Amino acid sequence: MTATDRSIELITAAAQAAADRLAHDIIAYDVSDVLSITDAFLVASAPNDRQVKSIVDEIEERLQKELGVKPVRREGDRDARWILLDYVDIVIHVQHSEERVFYALERLWKDCPEIALPEDAVRTRGKAEEHAQLNGGTEGEQS
């Protein structure tokens, strides 16, 4: 079984929205063969809590406006360190860069096929590392 065309459409729109809000390291996995509850995961990150929230808001607004869907569940808003949007067919994880490194979701899903994303989203790969180097380490470290 592979992700449905509708799931791919949702992932593509969400990835573009995340890229437009300068998310880092956007990647999507087809998890339909290993999970029965959803077809695909989208993972993105940002260097601060405000940007995490901004990315999530943009994804939610874009999917509502362009594709007429709302998440059935939104979790993690209070701290904005890891916000999850559950659209049933897809699940979107937007994480603070520190949470992204710590939880390493990619390690869990590395055996699942990657879903092709828009070029803007693909160009975000490596941006978290680039940002950390420019800012002298992780955001939480102060000199």
In tens, the pLDDT along 57-104 reads: 999 999 999 999 999 999 998 888 999 999 999 999 999 999 999 999
Q: Is 36 exposed, middle or buried (0-12, 13-18, 19+ CB in 10 A)?
A: exposed
- The pLDDT confidence band at residue 140, using thresholds 50, 70 and 90, is very low
Give kind and range of the element (H or E) at residue 83.
Answer: strand 82-86
In tens, the pLDDT along 118-128 reads: 999 999 998 76
**With contact defined as beta carbons under 8 Å apart, do 45 and 96 qualify?**
yes
Q: What is the pTM of this model?
A: 0.88
DSSP alpha helix (H) spans, the chain:
5-20, 49-67, 97-103, 105-109, 119-122, 127-134
CA dihedral angle for residue 8, residue 12, residue 13, residue 15, rounded to 10 degrees: 130
Q: Is 60 exposed, middle or buried (0-12, 13-18, 19+ CB in 10 A)?
A: buried
Task: List C-alpha distances in Å: 100 to 25, 82, 105.
Answer: 10, 8, 7
